[in-house]
A and B are shown apart, each in its own frame.
Chain A
Amino acid sequence: MNWVQLWKFILKLTLFGYSILVIVVFFGGIQNVVDMLKDLRKPID
């Protein structure tokens, strides 16, 4: 594999991987926010 092919692969991997991550984090994150605020409302030990 030469440099050009390597950077092509890395660029495709980045754009694809990051797109998937954004979708996963968006849906998972909303539930996490709700849980975090619930945790912070609990009485202090």
Chain B
Amino acid sequence: MDVFATNFRTIDWIIVSVYICIPVVIGVIVKKYIRQLSDFIVAGRSLKLFIAIASLTGTELGLVTVMYNSELGFKHGFSAFHVGIIETVCILAIGLTGFIVYKLRQLRIMTIPEFYGMRFGRKVRIVGGIILALGGILNMGLFLQAGARFMMGVTGYSNPAGLKLFMSVMLIMVLIYTVMGGMVSVVLNDFMQFIVLSIGMLIGSYYAITKIGWDNLFKAPNTVDNISWFNPVAEGSGFGMIYVIFMVVLTFSAGALWQSGTLRALSAKTPKIAKQLYAWSSISYLARRVIPMLWGICAFIFVSQTPKLLSAFQGPDALNSQFGMPVFIAKVLPSGLLGLIVAGMFAAFMSTHDSYLLSWSSVITQDIVAPIKKDKLSDKTRLLITRISIVCIGLFLLMWGLWFEAPVSLWNYMAVTGTIYLAGAFTVIVAGLYWKKASTTGATIALYAGLIAILGIGPWTRGDNVPFYLTDKFIGLMTFVIAFLGMVIGSLFFPDKQKPEEAEV
């Protein structure tokens, strides 16, 4: 069997091509609803529960999410499911208690660093804004590359120039409708994409399970260790206890404070809806992990039963494991349905890009440019800067993600770049909201401590016999610990003598 043999036919190309034009049409139509900055960034804070759930899911269930989760399933089997369980419990806990998100929505802010400014002053807001934008934009860096791999695996199309052109066209379409319709456009597209992608994922799961067989699904393939395939803390699983603890800290902080997700809570009509949004969305968070992992597991079982495919994924010239899932669905899903699912995946690609573009451009405008200008910018100017930032980030992504090959694995890269921002942000927000002694110095140290996470993608983290203290998971976990200690020690030894400059709470 040819590795890139596929059921993707002309009808599937037509479905995908028509589908990816729809968001642009929506962007044009809703442009008339954008009259002020808050309409653009937080949809006038008018989101009710169900549309907010669809939008949050649309944002957090991107093509890259599907790719790295299916890769985890492909490489580690059911033991990868633990990440989904941890994340779901964390999101549910945030939803039930309203921890962080309820108070942030009450404050009527539009970005996370806006809170830094209210609590710790203008300088902390600018530092926080720069670190957030840095971590966030770098975090998007491999999205286009993952998208191109998915497209190649599922369509069998492998012309590098054509792939780059297709991904570039999709990004440009996202830029057009996001620049025009802002959050209103993003939310409407997220809703449509949530429905299409979800139905595609559920039907796709049915086909995947049917192909492998329910009972066979829970038998470890002969090529892997039976225990580590199911047990995440077993030796050889690729995870272990340090990883599990890192995932608890990372997914809890990301759940509450990842700007693109939190933006949905800040866009909610009331603080109560913001809280409910998280409780309901815990199901989506479970699905966004477990369903792609299931596909990855099915893909590995399928590959291990097909000698020619198995040999393609083994040896010195082995295919990247990200190809496992797309190669599998290209062979088991019928034409037509395959087009629908691929359209859904590209929808996921677009819905993640639009929200991330809006998030990081909002931060650049609101938390870097505006505070530097001492808030003497009109709403119209801010809107213009936000739109220009969206285009600039888009251009950066084209250069970084598509034309340069990143030297590290997808999940490693995502976790580390996310930690750059999250380690400091989580500490600063929690301390700022719930600890009266939290000081400006403590907040600044905590934010800068996040930069330590970048050590987690250094060359010393690679290889088979890396000491535990040099692994990416240990460095990631320690970044959170150091940020926390920095906040506590900085606040106790350097308390604020007076209310920080421009602080409002």
Contacts and interface: CB of A to CB of B under 8 A. Distances in A.
A4 B231 CA distance: 9
Interface in B172-207: 184, 187-188, 191, 194-195, 198-199, 201-202, 205
A31 B48 CA distance: 9
Contacts, number: 99
A35 to B, nearest CB: 6
Contacts of B188: 33
Contacts of B280: 21
B221 interface: no
B291 A18 contact: yes
Interface stretch (B31-39, B478-486, B492-500): B31-39
Interface string B435-463: 00000000000000000000000000000
A37 to B, nearest CB: 7
B306 to A, nearest CB: 23
B332 interface: no
Contact of A36 (B187, B195, B294): B187
A32 B49 contact: yes
A9 to B, nearest CB: 11
Contacts of B43: 36, 40
B230 A4 contact: yes
A17 B48 contact: no
B46 interface: yes
B53 interface: yes
A24 B290 CA distance: 20
Interface in A1-45: 3-4, 7-8, 10-11, 13-15, 17-19, 21-22, 24-26, 28-29, 31-33, 35-37, 39-41, 44
A24 B26 CA distance: 23
Chain A interface SS verdict (over half): helix
Interface in B280-296: 280, 283-284, 286-287, 290-291, 294
A22 to B, nearest CB: 4
B50 A10 contact: no
Nearest to B288: A18
B208 to A, nearest CB: 11
A35 B187 CA distance: 13
B47 interface: yes
Contact of B202 (A18, A33, A35, A44): A18
A17 B51 contact: no
Given A3-B78, A7-B78, A10-B290, A40 B46 contact: yes
Contact of B49 (A7, A22, A28, A39): A28
Contacts of B78: 3-4, 7
B198 A40 contact: no
Contacts of B191: 29, 33
Interface string B119-141: 00000000000000000000000
Contact of A21 (B35, B230, B284): B284
Contacts of B50: 24-25, 28-29, 31-32
Contacts of B231: 3
B54 interface: yes
Contacts of B36: 44
Contacts of B205: 15
Contacts of A4: 78, 218, 230
A22 B201 CA distance: 11
A37 B52 CA distance: 14
A36 B283 CA distance: 24
A17 B191 CA distance: 18
B286 A32 contact: no
Nearest to A3: B230
A36 to B, nearest CB: 5
Given A18-B198, A21-B283, A36 B290 contact: no
* A-B pairs with lowest CB-CB distance, top 4: A28-B50, A32-B51, A3-B230, A39-B46
Interface of B: 33, 35-36, 39, 43-44, 46-54, 78, 81, 84-85, 184, 187-188, 191, 194-195, 198-199, 201-202, 205, 218, 230-231, 280, 283-284, 286-287, 290-291, 294
Given A13-B286, A29-B195, A32-B52, 8 more contacts: A7-B218, A10-B286, A11-B294, A18-B202, A29-B54, A36-B44, A40-B33, A40-B184
Interface of A: 3-4, 7-8, 10-11, 13-15, 17-19, 21-22, 24-26, 28-29, 31-33, 35-37, 39-41, 44
16 contacts: A7-B78, A8-B218, A11-B294, A17-B283, A18-B201, A18-B287, A21-B280, A22-B195, A22-B199, A29-B51, A29-B191, A29-B195, A35-B46, A36-B44, A36-B184, A41-B33
